[in-house]
């Protein structure tokens, strides 16, 4: 499978197949719930597939500012590219979110750290070759939008800036999109 197909699959998966599921019901209209479990891809976790847990740690009075802490596990499966086997990687993010808004609309600011674990190898299928380290850390920053209505629908999207300690990919720009249903 070539990288163009992988990129297309990742884009389609991120746009249509991500899910957010909130673990605790009983919130008022548009107020973030106390804890969330969400499934998705891309974003702060850097993996194609991820499971994350998010917990509200502070809400201002009046309730317009919410601070959430999130962690999880992301995974990017390996595959074959130009007859070369590319191994998979595992990611563990830790992200702090600040939500600002009322009712169903919130601006979302996120800052995080992600640890990546995978094999140490050089991917020479592209030009220039990409170095993959056994352990790689990344710092992420995002600014986006989160919509949560009284029926449990959640939509969040954000552009993402990422700085890694990888010499072949020190700075990159990405995105995160999650669709889901709160219950």
pLDDT band at 66 (very low <50, low <70, confident <90, very high): confident
54 in helix, strand or coil? strand
Specify if 178 maps to a domain: yes
| DSSP labels, 3-27 | HHHHHHHHHHHHHHS-EEEES----
pLDDT at residue 70 above 60? Answer: yes
The arithmetic mean of pLDDT across residues 38-52, rounded, is 75
- pLDDT tops 60 at residue 90: yes
This prediction's pTM:
0.71
- Tell me how many domains the chain contains: 1
What per-residue confidence (pLDDT) applies to 122?
Answer: 77
Residue 136 lies in a domain: no
**Quick check: is 150 in a domain?**
no
Q: What pLDDT, on a 0 to 100 scale, did the predictor assign at position 141?
A: 94
Is 126 within the bounds of a domain? Answer: yes
Q: Lowest-confidence range among 51-55, 60-64, 101-105, 151-155?
A: 151-155
Residue 118 · residue 139 · CB < 8 Å: no
Question: Is 54 among the domain residues?
Answer: yes
Residue 162 CB neighbour total at 10 angstroms: 19
Residue 109 lies in a domain: yes
Count of beta carbons in the 10 Å neighbourhood of residue 179 = 19
% residues pLDDT > 70 (the chain): 76
pLDDT of 5 over the 70 cut? no
pLDDT at 22 over 80: no
Least-confidence region, from 5-14, 150-159, 167-176: 5-14
**Do residues 144 and 106 touch, judged by C-beta distance below 8 A?**
no
Q: Does the pLDDT of residue 4 top 70, yes or no?
A: no
Query: Is 79 inside a domain boundary?
Result: yes
Element (H, E) at 171: strand 171-182
The answer to whether position 173 is within a domain reads yes
**Exposure of 3 in the CB half-sphere (CA atoms within 13 A):** 9
**142 confidence band (pLDDT: 50, 70, 90):** very high
Instruction: Tell me what percent of the residues of the chain surpass a pLDDT of 90.
Output: 16
In this predicted structure, the answer to whether residue 11 has a pLDDT above a threshold of 70 is no
pLDDT of 26 higher than 70: no
- Range of the structural domain that residue 170 is part of: 3-131+156-182
Backbone angles phi and psi of 107, in degrees to 5: -80, 145
Tokens of 89: 């990687």
| Selected residue with higher pLDDT from 25 and 5 | 5
């Amino acid at each position: 499978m070539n990288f163009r197909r992988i990129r297309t699959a990742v884009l389609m998966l991120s746009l249509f197949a991500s899910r957010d599921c909130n673990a605790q019901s009983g919130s008022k209209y548009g107020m973030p719930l106390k804890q969330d479990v969400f499934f998705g891809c891309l974003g702060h976790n850097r993996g194609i597939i991820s499971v994350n847990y998010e917990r509200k740690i502070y809400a201002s009075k009046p309730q317009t500012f919410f601070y959430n802490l999130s962690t999880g596990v992301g995974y990017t499966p390996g595959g074959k590219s130009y007859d070369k086997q590319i191994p998979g990687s595992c990611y563990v993010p830790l992200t702090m979110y600040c939500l600002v808004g009322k009712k169903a609309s919130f601006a979302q600011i996120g800052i995080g750290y992600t640890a990546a674990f995978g094999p140490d190898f050089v991917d020479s299928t592209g030009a220039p070759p990409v170095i993959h380290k056994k352990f790689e850390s990344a710092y992420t920053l995002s600014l986006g939008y989160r919509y949560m209505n009284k029926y449990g629908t959640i939509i969040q999207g954000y552009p993402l800036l990422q700085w890694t300690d990888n010499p072949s990919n020190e700075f990159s720009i990405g995105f995160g999109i999650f669709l889901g249903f709160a219950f």
